[in-house]
Structures are given as structure tokens and as C-alpha cells.
């Protein structure tokens, strides 16, 4: 039996881990997955809802670490994860994406000479001021097995000297999730009716990157840009963004409906029926493409370069409200049926490739 410790802590990691965890369970007794939740995201609607909706088993360990600075969180996580690893002695530590939980898991494991596997390896924004960029670079250099979603990610790693059998292009587990849970979303979600939203009649917005939320001017520009568009904007608001709006005493324009963060199934339905998605989220940019909705990215750069090249995604200047409102309308008029259907995120079987590789490597 192969023992795997999965380290997760933040919303996008619950979604990525859900499809991989399901695949582990399908393997029966040949693999035992132990889930460690660091506590980075702890609100019900940022954490519990995903375990319930996506059928992720209850974490075996809940470390309860959240709410501190990057340094405090990462340091405390390393200490507590190390104790779990010493006790459990796993064959693999599996980490996802680019949060403090990712880096803490990778560091704790590598110092104990436990093999580290990184799902969503090789992404780069080339913006070292992003905390996520530091987490990604370091985790990739620590990892023993790197699962990349795209060709661009493979190329990024090659430029840093990370090549060979250690690196596997498996596609994107978020595409697996979009396919697998998409049907359930259509059956179970009632959010469009609850919010009285008409098909293609609104803009869906999410904003949570530090560069936007922690800069009062940029946050104000985003609000003004949405206001100037005149469109109905539905904005499931990340707790950090809500806190900053309060700290900066910024008013919400009348055309913006701020709602609490929603579960994944409701999010999928909001994404599918939106006329445009405006976001600074990595995952939401891809989901816009999965559901064939044009996306405006509220950032200066993106890791998902193929979406920009393919015309599905447009970067906008977050220093000028007029540019944001103009670009929203440009996206709205984009004829998505004429855009290329990219196959760069795999075939929806990425989780299977991840699980098979983990089992095979340890069996050898």
C-alpha cells in the first residue's frame, strides 16, 4: 500500500484535490490518502462547502493555521506539517498550486527526505512581487515529481533547468473538475433563479489578488470601471477584498451586486451564463474558457498565456477605469464561436495521470 499525504488549505486547492482524491479512492486499498488541511481558508463558504459539495473526505488533520502574515503562516505550517509527516511516514507528499500551504508542505517534506509531488507545476507570471510566484518557483525546485498543466509550463521549467523524467505534462486537473462537477452543477444549483439573473445578462467578477485588494487606488479603479460599464455586475466577494473595501471605506456602485463567496457548483453556473467574466483569479480565467465565456483579466500579466494568444482572455490596465469599462464591452462583443477551441489543458483525465504516476514511481 502506498501512503500519500495531501496538503491543502485554500479554496482552489480543494477543487483541484477533489478530482485527484476521488481517483485515489477508486484505487481501493492499494493507496491510502491522508488529507491535511492547514486552515489557510477557514470560513464555511471558503472551505467547508467544498468538502461537502465535491465529496472530499473530512481532513485527517486540521492544523488551524490562518489569519497571520505570510511569514507567520508559512512558519507555523512547516512546524505542524513536519510533526504530521514524522508520525505518518508517507511515501509521497502531494501539494497543489502556489499558496503558503504548498510551499510549507514541500519544505517540510524535503527536509525529511520524503518525496514531494507538485500538481500545477511550471506556471510563471514572472512577477516576483506576487507571493504566489515565490511559492511556485521554490516548490518546483524542491519537488521530485512535477505535474504541469500545459506546454508553456513545461517550457518555463526547462528554462530553469528542470527537465527529464521528473517533469510530466498531464493536463489541468481543473479541467477534470469542470467536466466532472459541471453536470452536477446544472442539476443542483439554483443560484441563477435566486439572484434573478438572465442568461448572458450580467458580468461575473472576482477579485482577490493582493496587488488589487491591498492597493486602494487599484481597488477604486476596478469599482469605477465596473460602474462606468453600466452592466449588472455580480461579484462573489473574497473575505480579504471585503475587508479592504471596509478598511478603505470604498462605496459599492449601484450596478454591482456583492454577494458572499459561493460554492463551486453555484460558481460554475454563474460562470456559464455570464456575458463576460472579469477576474484576477488564476482558476477562474481557465474556467471562463472551459465554459466558453470571454474573460477580462484585471492584471498586468497572466500565467495562462495560451488563453490570451487564443483571444479568449484579455489583460486590462487596472490604473484606468475607462479602459476597464471599454475592455468589458469589447469582451462582451467577442464572437466566442469564432475563437479556436484550444486543447492545451488535456482531455479531462489529468487526475488519472497524476495518480498513476505516483503509484508507479513508488512501486518501481
Q: How far is CA 337 from CA 274, 294, 305, 333, 340, in A?
A: 15, 11, 20, 12, 8
Q: Considering only residues 236, 294, 346, 348, which one is a binding residue for ligand UDP as defined by CB under 6 A?
A: 236
**Minimum distance, C-beta of residue 311 to ligand UDP, in the bound complex (Å):** 21
**Residue 31 in 3-state DSSP?**
strand
DSSP label of 223: H
DSSP label of 45: G
Interface map 184-223 toward ligand UDP (x if CB under 6 A): ----------------------x-x---------------
- 105 makes contact with ligand UDP (CB under 6 A): no
Closest by Cα among 289, 294, 293 to 346: 289
> If you count them, how many residues does the chain have?
364
Residue 90 vs 263, nearer CB to ligand UDP = 263
Segment contacting ligand UDP by CB under 6 A, of 78-86, 147-155, 242-250, 280-288: 280-288
Residue 33 vs 98, nearer CB to ligand UDP = 98
Q: Considering only residues 122, 171, 283, 294, which one is a binding residue for ligand UDP as defined by CB under 6 A?
A: 283
- 12 makes contact with ligand UDP (CB under 6 A): yes
Q: Considering only residues 122, 182, 282, 346, which one is a binding residue for ligand UDP as defined by CB under 6 A?
A: 282
Q: Considering only residues 284, 295, 318, 324, which one is a binding residue for ligand UDP as defined by CB under 6 A?
A: 284
Residue 229 vs 241, nearer CB to ligand UDP = 241
- 264 makes contact with ligand UDP (CB under 6 A): yes
DSSP label of 167: E
- 287 makes contact with ligand UDP (CB under 6 A): yes
**Residue 278 in 3-state DSSP?**
strand
Contact 263, 49 (CB under 8 A): yes
- Give the integer Cα–Cα distance in Å for 173 and 357: 14
**Minimum distance, C-beta of residue 201 to ligand UDP, in the bound complex (Å):** 19
Q: Considering only residues 262, 277, 305, 355, which one is a binding residue for ligand UDP as defined by CB under 6 A?
A: 262
> Cell digits for 190?
439554483
- Residue numbers annotated as active site: 208
- Grid-cell match 517540510, residue found: 108
- 39 makes contact with ligand UDP (CB under 6 A): no
**Minimum distance, C-beta of residue 232 to ligand UDP, in the bound complex (Å):** 17
> Cell digits for 253?
456602485
Segment contacting ligand UDP by CB under 6 A, of 67-75, 187-195, 281-289, 314-322: 281-289
Segment contacting ligand UDP by CB under 6 A, of 11-19, 25-33, 62-70, 315-323: 11-19
Residue 241 vs 325, nearer CB to ligand UDP = 241
Residue 11 vs 218, nearer CB to ligand UDP = 11
Residue 23 vs 135, nearer CB to ligand UDP = 135
- 234 makes contact with ligand UDP (CB under 6 A): no
Contact 297, 314 (CB under 8 A): yes
- 149 makes contact with ligand UDP (CB under 6 A): no
Q: What are phi and psi of 113, to 5 degrees?
A: 60, 35
**Long-range contacts (CB closer than 8 Å, 24 or more residues apart) made by 217-222:** 217/319, 218/318, 218/319, 219/244, 219/245, 219/248, 219/250, 220/248, 220/250, 221/318, 221/319, 221/320, 221/321, 221/324, 222/298, 222/318, 222/321, 222/324
Query: In angstroms, how far is the first alpha carbon of the chain from the final one?
Result: 13
- 281 makes contact with ligand UDP (CB under 6 A): yes
Q: What are phi and psi of 120, to 5 degrees?
A: 80, 45
What is the CB neighbour count within 10 angstroms for residue 311?
A: 15
- 9 makes contact with ligand UDP (CB under 6 A): no
Count of residues in contact with ligand UDP, rule CB under 6 A? 16
Residues that bind ligand UDP (CB under 6 A): 11-12, 15, 206, 208, 236, 261-264, 267, 281-284, 287
Amino acid at each position: 500500500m502506498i501512503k500519500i499525504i495531501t496538503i491543502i488549505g485554500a479554496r482552489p486547492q480543494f477543487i483541484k484535490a477533489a478530482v485527484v482524491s476521488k481517483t485515489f479512492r477508486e484505487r481501493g486499498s492499494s493507496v491510502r490518502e491522508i488529507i491535511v488541511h492547514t486552515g489557510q481558508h477557514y470560513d464555511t463558504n471558503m472551505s467547508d462547502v467544498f468538502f461537502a459539495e465535491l465529496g472530499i473526505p473530512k481532513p485527517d488533520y486540521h492544523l488551524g493555521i490562518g489569519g497571520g502574515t505570510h511569514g507567520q503562516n508559512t512558519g507555523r505550517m512547516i512546524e505542524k506539517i513536519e510533526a504530521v509527516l514524522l508520525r505518518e511516514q508517507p511515501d509521497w507528499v502531494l501539494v497543489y498550486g502556489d499558496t503558503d500551504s504548498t510551499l510549507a508542505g514541500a519544505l517540510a517534506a524535503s527536509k525529511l527526505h520524503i518525496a514531494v509531488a507538485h500538481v500545477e507545476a511550471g506556471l510563471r507570471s514572472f512577477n516576483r512581487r506576487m507571493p504566489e510566484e515565490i511559492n511556485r518557483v521554490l516548490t518546483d525546485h524542491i519537488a521530485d515529481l512535477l505535474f504541469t498543466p500545459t506546454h508553456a509550463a513545461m517550457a518555463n521549467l526547462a528554462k530553469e533547468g528542470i527537465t527529464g523524467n521528473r517533469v510530466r505534462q498531464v493536463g489541468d486537473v481543473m479541467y477534470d473538475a469542470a467536466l466532472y462537477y459541471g453536470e452536477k452543477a446544472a442539476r443542483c444549483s439554483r443560484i441563477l433563479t435566486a439572484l434573478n439573473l438572465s442568461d448572458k445578462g450580467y458580468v461575473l467578477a472576482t477579485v482577490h489578488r493582493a496587488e488589487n485588494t491591498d492597493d486602494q487606488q487599484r481597488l477604486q479603479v476596478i469599482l469605477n470601471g465596473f460602474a462606468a460599464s453600466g452592466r449588472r455586475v455580480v461579484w462573489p466577494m473574497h473575505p480579504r477584498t471585503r475587508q479592504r473595501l471596509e478598511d478603505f471605506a470604498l462605496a459599492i456602485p449601484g450596478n454591482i451586486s456583492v454577494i458572499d463567496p459561493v460554492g463551486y457548483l453555484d460558481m460554475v453556473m454563474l460562470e456559464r451564463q455570464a456575458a463576460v467574466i472579469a477576474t484576477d483569479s488564476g482558476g477562474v480565467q481557465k474556467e471562463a474558457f472551459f465554459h466558453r465565456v470571454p474573460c477580462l483579466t484585471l492584471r498586468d500579466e497572466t500565467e495562462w498565456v495560451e488563453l490570451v494568444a487564443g483571444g479568449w482572455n484579455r489583460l486590462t490596465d487596472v490604473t484606468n477605469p475607462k479602459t476597464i469599462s471599454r475592455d468589458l464591452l469589447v469582451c462582451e462583443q467577442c464572437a466566442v464561436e469564432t475563437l479556436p477551441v484550444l486543447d492545451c489543458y488535456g482531455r479531462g483525465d489529468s487526475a488519472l495521470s497524476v495518480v498513476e504516476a505516483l503509484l508507479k514511481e513508488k512501486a518501481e
